[in-house]
Amino acid sequence: MTLTRTEPVAAPSDGPRGERPKRRRSRMTRNQALWCYLFIAPALLGLLLFSLGPMVASFLLSFTSYDLLSAPQWVGLQNYVGLAEDTLFRKSLSITLIYGVVSVPATLLIGLLVAILLNGKIPAMAFFRSAYYLPSVISGVAVAMLWKWLYNGQYGLINTVLGALGIPGPAWLTDEHWALRALIFMSLWGFGGTMLIYLAGLQGVPKELYEAAQVDGASRFRQHLHITVPMLSSVTLFNLIMGIINSLQVFAEPFVLTPNGGPNQSTLLLSVYLYQNAFQYLKMGYASAIAWVSFAIIVVFTLLVFRSTPMWVHNETSEER
Amino acid sequence: MTALHRPISRRTLLGGLAGGAVLAGAAGCSGGSGSQDQPAPVPTDGKVIGRTDLEIFAWSNGPTIDANFKKRVDLFNQDHQGKFTAKINFLPYDQYWQKVQLQYAANKPFDIYYWDVQAYAHYKKGLVFDEQPVIDTTAMMDAAKYPTNLYDPWKFDGKNLYCIPENIQSTALFYNKDHFDEAGLDYPDATWTWDKVVEVAPQLQKSSGGKVTRWGLDIGTLGIWWGIQTLAWATGTAFVDKPLEPTAFQMTDPKVVESMKFVQDLMWAQHIAPRPEERADVAANNGGFASGAYSMVPGATWDIASYNQMKAKWAMAPMPTYQGQRVAPYWLGGWVIPKKSGALTAAQTFALWSATTFQKQMAKDHDWIPIENAARDSSDMLSGMPDGFAETMKALPQARIGDIYTTNMQQIFNEVFGPNFDQMFNNKLTPQAAAQKMQDAATKLISN
């Protein structure tokens, strides 16, 4: 059975001879529509029940006081007003922003540099590509457990190496000045996904551009600065937006490495604070408000990034015109 | 064209589905509430309310205790063959209360679940029965047989029990006998004071290559708010005016501040106990007392089951006296049965059986401490238990509840006690400053 129709559509007719094909067409159209809805139903239902439905429900809950144990009570904007006055929320927001501002650009930079390195002709290329990508496919909790050992102040590998170099290693996870840095540093380990997308983007950069630059005497650094970076700007845009979204949603690593917001709540990222309010303090309405503020922040950042694209994203289509 | 055959527009379809999803979500957002003082129906004349197959939920307490719990359920099934069948499910503690709460939200609470302080919120919302009429059918209210005075904090309305207690826990000073023998020192006993501990701890400490490899003392439960509070109790004060629905915090009471300073000094001024970073390293490396990293540690009796697996010889003593006094904390363990339990009679039967018939076996298992006096003092309980156990139990009649019952206590633990004690233990806040910060923040939260 085909669901697409390619034959010419008969002109509408008022006469008795024209009625039959019209009815058949109508039945066919209905049949096609029915099949169409049937095929898209699983995806549509999944979207509505497991994404859109909970989103709408959480939006409504954000205007309620809801403790899971009794019915929600409408409180209007009280949760949002509460957030504005909540010093811990502001602290959590600033910690999350610091985390994002450092980890997102750093991940982009490392991902790009490693992608450029792995785009060349080096031995055991497949091994290196897999090795760098591997951390991205390991579960966040497993990664956190691994890093917990690496960060151990007395017996951890990092401080052992630092000690061998004569540098006293800090108390990575229990010192409030180091805990967030430790989380950011660990996040860089997951640059594999960014690298892979850059690597795919690099395949699309015409070789002729580099050859022409070489002829003009451009150094390797200048070639990458003036060819690779602009040519990959649309890839950077994608990675940047995904990075912003991920950094505002990071949860497993801080939750496992530094429980309850870490030393002096120095790693109380927004998602952790949201979790605490929802499941430990039974303030589901308040937590929903945090979720929506977090969503609004993501939207604002994404829009700002999109608005800035004419300044830095190389768009072949517009230039060809 | 009939209404039946009217094509549905995409907008109508999507709108309908979205509306349905929201309604379905909203319908699930209600655990329902009831009155707090509704008495539970008493199972009489063999009448069974709800299913006969019971699902029990508890959090995992490690392999030994979990295995004993399973054996207990097997025993219950044998004893109640043809009437009830029970099955126990363990959840990790950090997921346990989420699941309990979500089941309430879905209007399908667990049949029965193990108590912790979070369940107080379930009482406050009227989700659990007053179990007193059911308890009254047993000998549990007989003061000659059970420590009925210790039930008081669980009488949330001042009169009746809303959970069914079955075991009791307290704290003690655990010590490694091998370390004491090696150092030629006398074992701790009921006469020990904290000054004596401070004097002995350095003699048990060992170092190698500039690093301490064995600490004479770890602060153990003194690193938790309720541990420090036991010191405050000894001086005649407490963190709150009353443990059930407190109305005032007393953190800035000079005696409370002094207790906090005592613990901080063990780590920083005297440095006879490891500091937080050193403790974290020990915990990650070899697990503390059980591995011989500490010679003495104030701990809780629920650790006995795991310490029983130790290779080294160990024992316990009553907590050292502080400023001439000792007030032990205690906690009740027991069962919470929701009003909407799907297997109400089976749940009540299991909880009461655990608190009565099973007590002898609980004494033999050496994991939980039976609430029944005879079982707790029995030779089954005492044989095989470490030296000092019986002496430690003697403090129970004068013990005080180690919990605070108010609905937003979790937030106070996490946002007030946790970070400020952390700061103080890391020597970044003076006890006075930490106490003031806690006083201000906790007072604000408790008044909300």
d(CA A104, CA B417): 33
Domain membership flag for residue B209: yes
Q: Are residues B413 and B278 in the same domain?
A: yes
Residue A129's CB: how many other CB atoms inside 10 A?
18
According to DSSP, the β-strands at B294-300 and B211-217 are parallel
Nearest CA in chain A to B276: A174
Tokens at A269, concatenated: 């990222």
* DSSP per position, A157-205: HHHHHHHHTT-PPP-TTTSTTTHHHHHHHHHHTTTHHHHHHHHHHHTTS
Q: Which domain holds residue B439?
A: 170-330+403-447
B259, B227 contact by CB (below 8 A): no
Low-confidence ranges of chain B (pLDDT < 70): 1-36, 43-45, 283-287
Collapsing DSSP to helix, strand or coil, B318 comes out as: coil
- Exposed, middle or buried: residue B214 (CB in 10 Å: 0-12, 13-18, 19+)? middle
The pLDDT of residue A9 is: 44
The answer to whether B419 faces chain A, any CB pair under 8 Å, is yes
DSSP conformational letter for A276? I
The pLDDT of residue B43 is: 67
A69, B125 contact by CB (below 8 A): yes
Question: Which residue matches tokens 């006293």?
Answer: A168
Tokens at A89, concatenated: 């929320």
d(CA A172, CA A148): 9
For residue range B274-322, what is the model confidence (pLDDT) as tens digits? 998 888 777 665 568 988 999 999 999 988 888 888 889 999 999 999 9
Name the residue among A77, A44, A70, A49 with its Cα closest to residue A288: A77
Domain membership flag for residue B22: no
The pLDDT of residue B36 is: 66
The answer to whether A263 faces chain B, any CB pair under 8 Å, is yes
The pLDDT of residue B38 is: 76
The answer to whether B25 faces chain A, any CB pair under 8 Å, is yes
Whether residue A11 has pLDDT greater than 50: no
For residue range A209-253, what is the model confidence (pLDDT) as tens digits? 999 999 999 999 999 999 999 999 999 999 999 999 999 999 999
Q: Are residues B176 and B159 in the same domain?
A: no
Q: Are residues B107 and B164 in the same domain?
A: yes
Please give the residue that has the higher pLDDT: either B311 or A11. B311
Total residues found in chain B within this entry: 448
Collapsing DSSP to helix, strand or coil, B58 comes out as: strand
B43, B49 contact by CB (below 8 A): yes
Measured in angstroms, the CA of A9 and the nearest CA of chain B are apart by 20
Domain membership flag for residue B367: yes
Instruction: Say if the Cβ atoms of A264 and B423 lie within 8 Å.
Output: yes
What is the rounded average pLDDT of the residues A49-53? 91
- Exposed, middle or buried: residue B337 (CB in 10 Å: 0-12, 13-18, 19+)? buried
d(CA A170, CA A165): 14
Please give the residue that has the higher pLDDT: either B91 or A139. B91
| Amino acid letter, residue B225 | W
Q: Where among B399, B416, B434 does a domain terminate?
A: B399
Q: Are residues B301 and B437 in the same domain?
A: yes
A92, A273 contact by CB (below 8 A): yes
CA B37 to chain centre: 24
Total residues found in chain A within this entry: 321
Tokens at B16, concatenated: 């309908």
Residue A209, C-beta contacts closer than 8 angstroms, at least 6 positions apart = A227, A231
The answer to whether B186 faces chain A, any CB pair under 8 Å, is no
- Exposed, middle or buried: residue B360 (CB in 10 Å: 0-12, 13-18, 19+)? middle
Domain membership flag for residue B72: yes
CATH code for the domain of B190: 3.40.190.10
Whole-structure pTM value: 0.81
d(CA B100, CA B106): 10
Instruction: Say if the Cβ atoms of B277 and A260 lie within 8 Å.
Output: no
* CA dist list (Å): A58 to A45, A76, A86, A146, B33: 18, 14, 20, 34, 21
d(CA B280, CA A172): 11
Residue A233, C-beta contacts closer than 8 angstroms, at least 6 positions apart = A312, A313, A314
* CA dist list (Å): B208 to B121, B213, B287: 50, 6, 19
Residue A158 — very low, low, confident or very high, per pLDDT cuts 50/70/90? Answer: very high
Using CB atoms and an 8 Å cut-off, which of residues 36-75 of chain B contact chain A? none
B333, B406 contact by CB (below 8 A): no
Q: What is the domain class of A79-320 according to CATH?
A: mainly alpha
d(CA B110, CA B91): 13
Q: Are residues B298 and B345 in the same domain?
A: no
Listed in sequence order, the DSSP H helices in B53-204 are: 63-79, 93-105, 120-124, 132-135, 177-183, 194-204
Instruction: Say if the Cβ atoms of B127 and A69 lie within 8 Å.
Output: yes
Q: Are residues B352 and B367 in the same domain?
A: yes
Classify the C-alpha dihedral A312-A314-A317-A318 as positive or negative: positive
d(CA B281, CA B283): 5
Instruction: Say if the Cβ atoms of B418 and A260 lie within 8 Å.
Output: yes
The pLDDT of residue B27 is: 46
The pLDDT of residue B10 is: 52
Q: Are residues B251 and B282 in the same domain?
A: yes
Chain B residue numbers with beta carbons less than 8 Å from the beta carbon of A45 are 17
d(CA A149, CA A160): 12
The answer to whether A149 faces chain B, any CB pair under 8 Å, is yes
Whether residue A4 has pLDDT greater than 90: no
Domain membership flag for residue B33: no
The pLDDT of residue A10 is: 45
Q: At what angle do helices B10-28 and A16-47 cross, to 10 degrees?
A: 30
**Beta-carbon pairs below 8 A across chains A and B:** 122
Domain membership flag for residue B42: no
The answer to whether A282 faces chain B, any CB pair under 8 Å, is yes
Tokens at B337, concatenated: 């049965």
B contact test, residue of A55, A268, A281 with most B CBs within 10 A: A281
Q: What share of chain A is helix, strand, coil (3-state, %, to 5)?
A: 75, 0, 25
Chain B residue numbers with beta carbons less than 8 Å from the beta carbon of A146 are none
What is the rounded average pLDDT of the residues A117-134? 85
Q: Are residues B138 and B270 in the same domain?
A: no
Q: Name residue B294's beta-bridge partners.
A: B215
Query: Above 0.90 for ipTM, yes or no?
Result: no
The answer to whether B26 faces chain A, any CB pair under 8 Å, is yes
The pLDDT of residue A314 is: 82
Q: How many domains does chain B have?
A: 2
* DSSP per position, A56-84: HHHHHHTTEE--SSS--EE-TTHHHHHHH
The pLDDT of residue B35 is: 66
The pLDDT of residue B408 is: 87
Residue A308, C-beta contacts closer than 8 angstroms, at least 6 positions apart = none
The pLDDT of residue A141 is: 86
Q: Are residues B389 and B416 in the same domain?
A: no
Instruction: Say if the Cβ atoms of B29 and A57 lie within 8 Å.
Output: yes
For residue range B358-396, what is the model confidence (pLDDT) as tens digits? 999 999 998 899 999 999 999 999 998 999 999 999 989
Domain membership flag for residue B415: yes
Q: At what angle do helices A140-150 and A179-188 cross, to 10 degrees?
A: 120
